[in-house]
């Protein structure tokens, strides 16, 4: 064949995907009876045996080579048709299968079959109509990192070689989300064998009772040299016993190897069906599978005695090869062999036109989404493709100035605390177990900001100092806790708060703290020059890998940060250019950039993959814009919300087991998606607890969604959880909101606070009873003070007054 890629055949005005899509969308499924009566019944079963053996072989390789993936194998069934390989994935004990095909009707039938079999199918699945020669699977999936362990494309590849662009896109889809070490396997036509057969036949055509192949007139096979055959667009028409009637294209295997290499795929093997059968049919397991699948037909040598005939009479002229095999076997031992298993000659002629192939992913390739590939090729692109390259238009960044919604009184205010004090998280002496009503915390400087982790509290003073108090088991306080000396008789009477020393990391003359946040065993600080500092151990060591950052250390970030938001065990960071970075624990999707298979421990990327801040990757479905930029971020305990710059919609992700992000499903969302139920509102802020969310609009209304059992939604009479924002009635115009695990707070225009939810930890200020609707907080200090901000821990609540 030609050695250059310059010569796409341009004689076909209709693209392959139109031909193939039209055929397979209009094809009808055949009944079991019809399939059993087909001339190719055994050949189809034989092909299925080849596929089953190939699939099982490579699933076993994956388990042997990557033992950690044994029970988490994710398969991409690329060109799945109507789901003919579904049972193979069940037998292969895979964990997840992504099915995709260009024929929408086929995908629908594939999904219907899966639903019917779901009771005994041991894997989960998703389904996408996808033209793999034009579209990208990355635009369909909720994933941003390679997640496939095996990509299987059975009898599909030859549809993609109508032109370079189609083949290149097909291979990108096969490789882009395949893990390093994973395999790309398939079956396709043996082009060299097909060319040789048709070249020696009249009209460049071969046929029998089972199939026919006729090359397009634009493909000249008359020359002994293959130079006249184009590498792409070498079209032939293929029919197979009324099952297939569709144009296909030659796949020159050396070219396939070169293209695959550009996508990080290394050649592993290529065998004809006969070679593969001979190599694999000898084992007991293979023979049992051949028998079970009825992959070979029983053939019995003809006899003159009809009573000795075990099968109905057949046309023996179709089995001369089988008779020769029996005769050869009987030369040494006459009449010892009377039967064998085989296919008819016509079926063998067809099956021998196919090959199996396999490639292994060796490395990741970076792609430019606006071009075919960034990788340099030793082969020349066609002039037509070169002339139609798109140029990437880079957006000039807009630098953000984000309102942090903190106390605007630069003189500072007073801190009040309520709830449990078992870890001195109220800032009160350890001899005090709890407080039912908010009490002052006697910090020596006026306070500008407050933040609460589950068991500790952080305060920023108007002197640019930070005071912390509460649990310091994992150094969330960012300082040595001198108050935990159990041998000190006066321990219970010592004030638990202390100042954090920032002199070693900050230039206090030029650098000012503009925000503090806290979570489960971590504290983070944002300065006015966009730097972030933190102290923690956390789940993995949020700041340092498996180390306790006893004092604040700088967190390395690629650009200036303008806002931080913290959940229980994860952090979001908003940059000045509108990017959102995340780090921490991702088990329930809260990082927004890793799929469920790598979110637990980072897999091959290790813990660094989790704790190193990296950009979130949003799901593009239902989003028209090519690139989104964000203007605000909000977090709950294990979920989050992203406000899109210049748009009216909200993205969200993370834990959704009680609909807390506003979706009707209860699946965790691993990549932020557009939340339709939040459309039509002008959102100012979201606050989230463990299983619920309340949202504040710019006109002062508050809406709730999520778990309803403890009264944290503030709506009386609820018996079911809310999967969309529902107005909380009978409250004044609100200016701020806050949430704890199962409690909620609203601040009105007058600085008064309404609280509701569980009373277990006394943190709503109304005693031990659950409060189902917003109730005005009233006490000695709450009656005379205006509240500017509220932060809520697991068992305590901190208020900041406005002086």
Place of tokens 């099915």: 99
pLDDT of residue 606: 66
Strand 734-739 relative to strand 722-727: parallel, antiparallel, unpaired? unpaired
Query: What does the DSSP 8-state code read for residue 769?
Result: S
pLDDT of residue 171: 96
- Closest Cα to residue 690, out of 758, 754, 642, 644? 758
CB atoms within 10 A of CB 799: 29
- Closest Cα to residue 107, out of 86, 138, 136? 86
CB atoms within 10 A of CB 111: 18
How far apart, in Å, are the Cα atoms of 571 and each of 257, 600, 636, 637?
44, 16, 11, 10
Q: In order of start, what are the domains of the chain with their CATH numbers?
A: 16-190+229-283+355-387 (3.40.50.150), 297-342 (no CATH), 415-801 (2.130.10.30)
- Closest Cα to residue 737, out of 728, 746, 725? 746
Q: Rounded to two decimals, what is the model's pTM?
A: 0.54
Give burial (CB, 10 Å; 0-12/13-18/19+) of 175: buried
CB 156, CB 133: distance < 8 Å: no
How far apart, in Å, are the Cα atoms of 562 and each of 9, 528, 574, 580, 737?
54, 8, 6, 10, 21
CB 124, CB 114: distance < 8 Å: no
Our CA dihedral for 467, 470, 475, 476, rounded to 10 degrees, sits at -70
Please tell me whether residue 649 adopts helix, strand or coil conformation: coil
532 backbone dihedrals φ, ψ, rounded to 5°: -125, 135
CB 237, CB 214: distance < 8 Å: yes
Place of tokens 């650009």: 559
CB 563, CB 579: distance < 8 Å: no
- Closest Cα to residue 712, out of 774, 663, 656? 774
CB atoms within 10 A of CB 66: 18
CB 410, CB 448: distance < 8 Å: yes
- Residues 6 or more apart in contact with residue 633 via CB below 8 angstroms: 563, 565, 572, 574, 580, 640, 641, 642, 643
Our CA dihedral for 342, 345, 348, 352, rounded to 10 degrees, sits at 140
Q: How far is it, in rounded angstroms, from Cα 439 to Cα 425?
A: 13
| Structure tokens belonging to residue 645 | 């710059």
pLDDT of residue 120: 73
Sheet of 466-470, strand order:
447-452, 456-461, 466-470, 498-499
CB 249, CB 232: distance < 8 Å: yes
- Closest Cα to residue 470, out of 414, 422, 522? 422
In whole angstroms, what separates CA 543 from the centre of its chain?
Answer: 25
Run means of pLDDT, 10 residues per run, the chain, 803 residues: 34 44 53 53 86 94 89 94 92 94 92 86 91 90 86 94 93 95 95 89 86 88 75 89 77 93 94 88 78 79 60 67 78 73 79 92 78 37 35 43 55 94 91 93 94 95 93 83 48 71 82 93 91 69 54 88 94 94 91 81 66 86 80 96 92 96 94 94 96 97 95 95 96 97 97 95 94 96 95 96 89
pLDDT of residue 373: 36
């Amino acid at each position: 064949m030609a050695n250059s890629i310059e010569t796409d055949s341009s004689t076909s005005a209709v693209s392959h995907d139109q031909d193939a899509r039209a055929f397979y969308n209009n094809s009808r499924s055949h009944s079991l009876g019809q399939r059993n009566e087909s001339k190719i019944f055994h050949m189809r079963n034989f092909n299925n045996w080849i596929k089953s053996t190939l699939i099982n072989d490579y699933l076993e390789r994956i388990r042997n080579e990557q033992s950690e993936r044994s029970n988490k194998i994710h398969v991409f069934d690329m060109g799945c048709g109507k789901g003919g390989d579904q049972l193979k994935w069940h037998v292969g004990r895979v964990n997840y299968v992504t099915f995709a095909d260009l024929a929408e009707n086929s995908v629908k039938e594939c999904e219907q079959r899966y639903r019917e079999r779901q009771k005994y199918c041991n894997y989960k699945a998703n389904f996408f109509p996808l033209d793999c020669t034009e579209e990208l699977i990355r635009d369909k999936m909720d994933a941003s990192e390679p997640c496939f362990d095996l990509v299987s494309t059975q009898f599909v590849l030859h549809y993609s070689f109508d032109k370079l662009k189609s083949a290149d896109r097909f291979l990108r889809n096969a490789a882009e989300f395949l893990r390093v070490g994973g395999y790309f396997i398939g079956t396709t036509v043996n082009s060299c064998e097909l060319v040789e057969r048709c070249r020696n036949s009249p009209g460049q055509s071969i046929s029998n009772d089972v199939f026919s192949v006729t090359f397009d007139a634009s493909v000249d096979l008359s020359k002994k040299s293959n130079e006249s055959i184009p590498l792409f667009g070498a079209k032939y028409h293929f029919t197979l016993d009324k099952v297939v009637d569709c144009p296909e294209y030659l796949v020159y295997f050396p070219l396939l190897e070169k293209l695959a290499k550009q996508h990080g795929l290394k050649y592993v093997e290529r065998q004809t069906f006969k070679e593969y059968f001979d190599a694999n049919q000898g084992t007991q397991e293979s023979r049992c599978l051949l028998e079970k699948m009825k992959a070979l037909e029983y053939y019995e040598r003809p006899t003159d005695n009809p009573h000795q005939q075990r099968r109905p009479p057949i046309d023996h002229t179709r089995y001369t090869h089988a008779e020769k095999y029996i005769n050869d076997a009987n030369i040494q031992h006459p009449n010892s062999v009377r039967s064998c298993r085989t296919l008819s000659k016509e079926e063998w002629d067809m099956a021998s036109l196919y090959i199996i192939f396999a490639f292994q992913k060796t490395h990741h390739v970076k792609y430019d989404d606006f071009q075919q590939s960034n990788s340099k090729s030793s082969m020349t692109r066609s002039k037509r493709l070169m002339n139609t390259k798109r140029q990437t238009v880079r957006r000039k960044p807009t630098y953000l100035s984000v309102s942090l919604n903190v106390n605007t009184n630069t003189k500072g205010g007073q801190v009040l605390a309520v709830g449990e004090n078992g870890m001195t998280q109220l800032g009160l002496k350890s001899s005090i177990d709890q407080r039912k009503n908010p009490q002052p915390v006697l910090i020596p400087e006026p306070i500008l900001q407050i933040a609460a982790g589950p068991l500790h509290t952080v305060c920023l003073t108007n002197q640019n100092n930070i005071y912390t108090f509460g649990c310091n088991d994992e150094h969330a306080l960012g300082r040595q806790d001198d108050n935990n000396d159990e041998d000190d008789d006066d321990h219970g009477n010592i004030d638990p708060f202390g100042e954090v020393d920032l002199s070693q990391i900050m230039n206090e003359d030029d650098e000012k703290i503009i925000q503090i946040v806290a979570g489960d065993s971590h504290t983070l600080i944002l300065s006015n020059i966009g730097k972030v500092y933190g102290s923690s151990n956390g789940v993995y060591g949020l700041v340092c890998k498996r180390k306790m950052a006893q004092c604040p250390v700088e967190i390395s970030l690629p650009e200036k940060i303008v806002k931080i938001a913290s959940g229980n065990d994860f952090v979001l960071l908003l940059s000045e250019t509108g990017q959102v970075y995340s780090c921490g624990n991702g088990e329930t999707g809260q990082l927004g950039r890793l799929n469920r298979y790598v979110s637990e421990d980072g897999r091959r990327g290790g813990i660094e993959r989790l704790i190193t801040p990296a950009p979130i990757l949003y799901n593009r479905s239902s989003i028209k814009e090519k690139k989104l930029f964000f203007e605000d971020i909000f977090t709950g305990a294990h979920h989050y919300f992203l406000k899109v710059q210049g748009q009216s919609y909200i993205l969200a992700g993370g834990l959704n087991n009680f609909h807390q992000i506003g979706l009707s499903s209860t699946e965790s969302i691993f990549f932020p998606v557009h939340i339709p139920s939040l459309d039509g509102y002008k959102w100012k802020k979201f606050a989230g607890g463990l299983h619920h969310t309340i949202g504040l609009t710019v006109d002062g209304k508050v809406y709730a969604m999520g778990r309803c059992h403890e009264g944290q939604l503030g709506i009386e009479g609820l018996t079911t959880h809310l999967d969309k924002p529902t107005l909380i009635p009978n409250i004044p115009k609100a200016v701020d909101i806050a949430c704890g695990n199962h409690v909620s707070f609203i601040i009105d225009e007058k600085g008064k606070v309404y609280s509701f939810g569980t009373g277990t930890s006394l943190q709503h200020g109304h005693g031990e009873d659950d409060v189902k609707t917003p109730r005005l907080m009233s006490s000695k200090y709450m009656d005379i003070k205006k509240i500017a901000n509220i932060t809520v821990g697991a068992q305590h609540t901190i208020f900041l007054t406005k002086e």
